[in-house]
Amino acid sequence: MNPHALAFPEKFLWGASTAAHQVEGNNVGSDFWQAENDGTWSLPDRSGDACDSYHRWAEDLDIVQSLGLNAYRFSIEWARVVPTPGHPSLAVLQHYRRIIEGCGQRGLTPVVTLHHFTSPAWLRDQGGWTSKEAIAHFTEYVRAVLPILDGVPWVCTINEPNMLAWTTARRADRAASAPSFVPPDPEMTAALTRAHTQARELLASVPGVRSGWTVANQNVQDHGAGADRTAEMSYLIDDQYLDVAKGDDFVGVQAYSRLRAGEQGVIAPGPADRRTMNGWEYYPRALEDAVRHTAARLGGSTPLLVTENGIATGDDDERIEYTGEALTGLSRAMSDGIDVRGYLHWSLLDNFEWGSWEPTFGLVAVDRTTFRRTVKPSARWLGRLARGHADPRAGRR
């Protein structure tokens, strides 16, 4: 039996991911939409119609199915479900229920995220996640969603809480230079932890649902900071969030690059470093490193699901190269006994990357005028790999 077959079992999930605000379009009730349009965060672009996936979701599912993938990760938008506190929209809930049913009709396993960075604008007006009523509002939202989750085996409560808390801290410290290290906001971290814990308890009432949150693994490595400082940085940005996941049904691993810890803080990629379109270091080993680190931190007791991994590039051959190297590393980790249940590529579509349309992560290009989807060679390559007709080490061959 070849190493590919050993590392990726028959029931392994192969899929692609999206997030509501990035693909649906006109998410007018969200805090991010509000910030895009009032200039609060000085973002270069607006999401606007995005990829119009709120209306074209069936076409997106058809593409995933046609590629030979068997899973699709998407998020439910809190701002749409609860446009006004205390009044969830039954129509919107039925919309997301149809997407879940659409996955089942196409033989796709739905992986549902309840919070993918965006919150209702009304919550922002009340003070955001650290406001007095935030946790109660979030649990109200989760309760509203519970009835439509029947048949959903994987539910991510909160996407990348470490990035939410880190971004909050960086926005509050605008004077910080790019290479410095600003610890994630502790109040935000505490609030998100409480929200996750309460959501997990509610989700336990739905038969068959496994819940967890996803962590944006930064792969902190010592490049002159020293072992103690590196461990401290790793704890602040990664490990404290992994510790919360102990006892969860799974944890979502999300990895793209690494964070090099130097004497003065973070060492940014230099002119000699190969970089991706959004300026990150080209480092496909990030996935293997993140999976191994996560498994070690959790003691090997919690199943892992790769909920995001990919590259911002305008060169599709480079996307295949990066993904092939990443999957080869994942294969090595799994061969060593690490329990990984699936790989969901980021992202299915070229979409709105949180303030900019420039970075293209997608397996599928989207014309922003006609919304026409064009499947890239990398998507077909990943589909062949998922069907066992390719080896990740072989690239396009």
SS3 track for the chain? CCHHHHHCCCCCEEEEECCHHHHCCCCCCEHHHHHHHHCCCCCCCCCCCCCCHHHHHHHHHHHHHHCCCCEEEEECCHHHHCCECCECCHHHHHHHHHHHHHHHHCCCEEEEEEECCCCEHHHHHCCHHHCCCHHHHHHHHHHHHHHHCCCCCEEEEEECHHHHHHHHHHHHCCCCCCCCCCCCCHHHHHHHHHHHHHHHHHHCCCCCCEEEEEEECCCEEECCCCHHHHHHHHHHHHHHHHHHCCCCCCEEEECCCCEEEECCEEECCCCCCCECCCCCECCCCHHHHHHHHHHHHCCCCCCEEEEECCCCCCCHHHHHHHHHHHHHHHHHHHHCCCCEEEEEEECCECCCCCCCCCCCCCCEEECCCCCCEEECHHHHHHHHHHCCCCCHHHCCC
Q: Structural domain tally of the chain?
A: 1
Span 181-212, pLDDT tens digits: 899 999 999 999 999 999 999 999 999 999 99
For position 173, what pLDDT does the model report? 73
Within a domain: 242: yes
Within a domain: 393: no
Span 269-301, pLDDT tens digits: 999 999 999 999 999 999 999 999 999 999 988
Within a domain: 204: yes
For position 391, what pLDDT does the model report? 74
Within a domain: 392: no
Range of the domain at 325: 3-385
Within a domain: 354: yes
For position 397, what pLDDT does the model report? 44
Q: Are 378 and 320 in contact (CB under 8 A)?
A: yes
With a cut of 50, list the residues of the chain below it in pLDDT.
Answer: 1-6, 175-179, 397
For position 396, what pLDDT does the model report? 55
Structure tokens at 1: 């039996």
Within a domain: 308: yes
- For the packed helices 90-105 and 53-66, what is the interaxial angle rounded to 10 degrees? 10
For position 278, what pLDDT does the model report? 96
Q: How much is the pTM? A: 0.96
What average pLDDT does the chain have? 95
Within a domain: 391: no
C-alpha to C-alpha distance for 322 and 300, rounded to whole angstroms: 27
Which residues are designated catalytic?
160
Q: Give how far Cα 246 sits from Cα of 239, 279, 296, 344, Å.
A: 11, 33, 12, 22
C-alpha to C-alpha distance for 278 and 257, rounded to whole angstroms: 11
Say which CATH number the domain at 176 has. Answer: 3.20.20.80
